Amino acid sequence: MMKSQVALLYVLIIMSEGSAQSLKPRRSVFFSDVNLKLFKEPDFNGLSSLLVREDIGLLFVGARGKVITLSLDDITVKTSEVNWTVTSKEKALCKVKGKSIEECDNYIRMMHTLDDGRILVCGTKAFNPTCTHLMFEEGNVTMEDSFQNGRGKVPFDPNENFASMVNGNTLYTAGSINFLGTVKSFQRHGRNTLRTEPIWSWLNGPNMISMKFAEISKHSNNNEDDNVFLFLTEIEIKDQHSNLRLSRVARVCKSDLGGLRILQKKWTSFLKARLDCPFGDEGSASLVQDVFFLQDENNVTNSIFYATFTLITEPSSTCSQSAVCAYKLSDIRQVFRGNFLTETAYGTWVTYTGAFPSPYPRSCINDEMRASGVKTSYDLPDSTLQFLKNHPLMEGAVTPLTGKPLLVRSMAQFSKIVVDKVTSLDGEQHNVMFISNNSGWLQKAVWSGDDGGRIIEELQLFQDPQPIRFLQLSRSGQLYSATRTAVAQLSVRDCSRYTSCADCLIARDPYCGWDHLKGLCAAVAGASNFSMIQNLIDGDATMCPSSHSVSMQITDIHLTADVAQFLPCSPDANLPISWSFSGKILEPGPRHILLSQGLVLTPSFTDEGIYTCETVEVVKGREHKKAVIQYHVKMSEVGGVNWFQAIVIYILASVCVLCVMLIIYVCWKKKPQNHVGSASVSYASTEQPEGKTESCNCGTDADTKKTKPTRVKESSKSTI
């Protein structure tokens, strides 16, 4: 009886063991163990923009009512502060319009560097968007006295999403242009102002995400005009009664001037297509969250867009899933050269099968079009412009270059992403992804055709769970991240967390290699093959010097026969563990319950000996084992401290049994009874809506199934 009661003490541990493994980081590093610099002040909040200026060594941080500058080398060093607040009159007028005190402040939402070195800065200014310029002269940051109307450049609402970019001195923005935030537009500002046509087929309830510029003309054989891409989500337009949101990518041409008679001061090159990132249950839609453009210096059409996605879930659902998909620029351009959708008389959208007007610019203006007399968009005939106005949507969808996501994580909400191109010791280039989530963590991941996606490690950058809103990477290898209340600085080339040669090589971190002269894991940037070893193919640890083997200290433990004892094993990496007893693999059985965090041992006198816990890591078919802890189990007669432990365990087990019986009794008493004479029996409290279930099935393969972290230490801090 005692055995069965003692076993109940481990029910919660056993229930937490996931039968399926999901893609999870090799190592989780908690806030106290991350080597980073943090900037945070008591009155610092509402952080709403971030700008890296490597030319002057400053990080510009836009927040509520101020812009501060921090040293890029050490963000704990504050170099200046420029206040830009609202007057009491402006705040009172804003409150009269129904806004709160917090909303009626000036949130610095946008900062862009111009060709002359000035910074264009725009704030919400108590729901009256305003812009000005910051200047850096002789080590000082100052603000111009002149101000411009910022409507259409930044939203009125400080919490609304929008996208912006500057090319040269030309500003492109996508967001709301009215006080209520109900009218949204994708536009170019300046001398040749253009915007989207204000009809629902162009933009249907859009949420603007990111904007990128591609210098197509630089590597084009026919001098095609440059492209501007906008990534967004919007309500599906194929069915006017649908509320389903989809991810889109839209394109316009840099030299677009609008139409001469039709589409005056409107884009004549606006096209959009669905952005597909297939993961999760069939039929579920994934929404793009952020996009990073990694440019190919040799051929811009080979450049890659990396994007984070999350699945649409019910508001009450606890199941979340995120992914990273990558898209080749040439594939996106190919979709925009494909077929179109056209709207029927019934409001639905079908494939267009009619004749195209001539000329029709499926691409931006190039030499072929110029030779036919179309040198600018003013030269396009009215028939072409009318077709453009009525057919903004392409039939084809943009699919990932791998056909599927680079990586998928269950129980995660990815937010921002940046990608760094790293050269390893063998001269090969590797794209390392840094992906933030909504709980203050950062994932460091790579993808290869052989391995697929793998997360090298995850780092807790902020102690309090909160969304990471900004990620910026400098050329010197410093990563700057920010929430609404703090800024963190992290070196992406920090290899100090790999404490042994084997760990350094098996991790296959493109940044790191083992320096056998210094006896430590260090950054490979600038290092030579003479002093350093690195193996990113299979992490062969046999390359390591034999002198770096570490002897394992043995822990003596005295146990009592037939009294269960938990032997913990907490590796520093998120890897499966195995147990051996006196040199032989320990198999699960009545006396040996194997868990991801340790071993439940109910010993007999034949179970004395050495118990070893090892991590097991398989890389390219090669198995790597590393001893974590060893126990020397010795048996004692019942008595003394062990007898006292047995009594405590017996009492706790009895309490568990009583609790279970009480729960069963309460549930039985609450069960509805169908009494004689009742008109009906109601089960509304347990009925599920048709077609829905409370279960959370977050994946379709071994890499996307839900699991819980294997680490126990500070597990409540992680939501991954």
Residue 660 confidence (pLDDT) above 70: no
Residue 654 confidence (pLDDT) above 80: no
Instruction: Enumerate the H helices of 9-81 as residue ranges.
Output: 11-15
What are the DSSP calls for 113-134, one per residue? E-TTS-EEEEE-TTTS-EEEEE
Q: Taking a C-beta distance cutoff of 8 angstroms, is the pair 46, 63 a contact?
A: yes
Between 60 and 530, residue with greater pLDDT: 60
Same domain for 419 and 404, yes or no, is no
Identity of the highest mean pLDDT range in 569-583, 633-647, 669-683 = 569-583
Q: Taking a C-beta distance cutoff of 8 angstroms, is the pair 85, 94 a contact?
A: no
| Dist CA 166 CA 91 (whole Å) | 30
3 state SS of 711: coil
Residue 392 confidence (pLDDT) above 70: yes
Same domain for 202 and 324, yes or no, is yes
Same domain for 301 and 219, yes or no, is yes
| Dist CA 156 CA 57 (whole Å) | 31
Identity (one letter) of the amino acid at 284? S
pLDDT tens, residue by residue, 232-250: 999 998 766 678 899 999 9
Mean pLDDT score, 252-274: 97
Report residue 652 as tokens.
């706790």
3 state SS of 494: coil
Residues 6+ apart with CB under 8 A from 178: 156
Same domain for 478 and 523, yes or no, is no
User: Does residue 25 lie in a domain region?
Assistant: no
Same domain for 365 and 429, yes or no, is no
Residues 6+ apart with CB under 8 A from 637: 560
Tally of structural domains, the chain = 4
Query: Going along 329-450, which residue ranges are E strands?
Result: 341-343, 349-351, 393-398, 407-410, 414-423, 429-437, 441-448
Residue 308 confidence (pLDDT) above 90: yes
* Percentage above 90 pLDDT, the chain: 64
pLDDT at 240: 62
Residues 6+ apart with CB under 8 A from 30: 460, 713, 714, 717, 718
| Dist CA 692 CA 685 (whole Å) | 15
| Dist CA 706 CA 548 (whole Å) | 37
Of 362, 381, 412, which closes a domain? Answer: 412
Of 412, 445, 463, which closes a domain? Answer: 412
Q: Taking a C-beta distance cutoff of 8 angstroms, is the pair 512, 498 a contact?
A: yes
Q: Which residues pair with 163 in a beta bridge?
A: 174
User: Does residue 188 lie in a domain region?
Assistant: yes
11: buried, middle or exposed (CB in 10 Å: 19+, 13-18, 0-12)? exposed
CATH number at residue 537: 3.30.1680.10
Mean pLDDT score, 28-48: 93
Q: pLDDT category, 33, cuts 50, 70, 90? A: very high
The sheet with strand 170-176 has its strands ordered as 163-167, 170-176, 184-188, 194-195
Q: Taking a C-beta distance cutoff of 8 angstroms, is the pair 553, 517 a contact?
A: no
CATH number at residue 632: 2.60.40.10
Mean pLDDT score, 126-148: 95
Please give the C-alpha separations between residue 709 and each of 79, 454, 691, 715, in angstroms, as whole numbers.
41, 16, 31, 7
Same domain for 240 and 282, yes or no, is yes
User: Does residue 154 lie in a domain region?
Assistant: no
pLDDT at 360: 74
* DSSP classification of residue 693: -
Same domain for 558 and 505, yes or no, is no
pLDDT at 378: 96
pLDDT tens, residue by residue, 87-104: 999 999 999 999 999 999
Same domain for 420 and 406, yes or no, is no
User: Does residue 701 lie in a domain region?
Assistant: no
3 state SS of 358: coil
Q: Taking a C-beta distance cutoff of 8 angstroms, is the pair 204, 274 a contact?
A: no
CATH number at residue 350: 2.130.10.10
User: Does residue 282 lie in a domain region?
Assistant: yes
> b/e map of 188-205 (b: 16 or more CB within 10 Å)?
bbeeeebbbbeeebbbbe
Q: Which residues pair with 253 in a beta bridge?
A: 227
3 state SS of 349: strand
User: Does residue 16 lie in a domain region?
Assistant: no
Q: Taking a C-beta distance cutoff of 8 angstroms, is the pair 227, 251 a contact?
A: yes
The sheet with strand 393-398 has its strands ordered as 207-214, 227-235, 245-253, 271-275, 393-398
User: Does residue 102 lie in a domain region?
Assistant: no
pLDDT tens, residue by residue, 494-551: 999 999 999 999 999 999 999 989 999 999 998 878 889 999 988 888 888 875 445 6
| Closest by Cα among 292, 632, 612, 622 to 479 | 292
Residue 359 preceded by cis peptide, ω within 30: yes
pLDDT tens, residue by residue, 635-645: 876 544 445 55
Same domain for 321 and 208, yes or no, is yes
Domain interval for residue 574: 553-640
User: Does residue 713 lie in a domain region?
Assistant: no
Average pLDDT, the chain: 85
Identity (one letter) of the amino acid at 628? V
**Which contiguous run of DSSP H or E holds residue 270?**
none
Rounded to 10 degrees, what is the CA torsion of 638, 642, 647, 648? -170
CA atoms within 13 A on the CB side of 66: 11
Same domain for 333 and 322, yes or no, is yes
| Dist CA 172 CA 192 (whole Å) | 11
Residue 697 confidence (pLDDT) above 60: no
Q: Which residues pair with 207 in a beta bridge?
A: 233
Same domain for 421 and 350, yes or no, is no
Mean pLDDT score, 587-609: 89
| Dist CA 544 CA 421 (whole Å) | 26
46: buried, middle or exposed (CB in 10 Å: 19+, 13-18, 0-12)? middle
Residue 619 confidence (pLDDT) above 50: yes
Same domain for 517 and 451, yes or no, is no
| Closest by Cα among 103, 322, 297, 148 to 214 | 297
Please give the C-alpha separations between residue 562 and each of 64, 605, 640, 644, in angstroms, as whole numbers.
64, 9, 16, 14
Q: Taking a C-beta distance cutoff of 8 angstroms, is the pair 19, 28 a contact?
A: no
Rounded to 10 degrees, what is the CA torsion of 437, 439, 444, 450? -60
| Dist CA 307 CA 292 (whole Å) | 6
* DSSP classification of residue 281: S
Q: Are strands 452-460 and 28-29 parallel, antiparallel or unpaired?
A: parallel
Q: Taking a C-beta distance cutoff of 8 angstroms, is the pair 416, 471 a contact?
A: yes
Of 530, 548, 566, which closes a domain? Answer: 548
Other Cβ atoms closer than 10 A to 97: 13
Report residue 343 as tokens.
């709207």
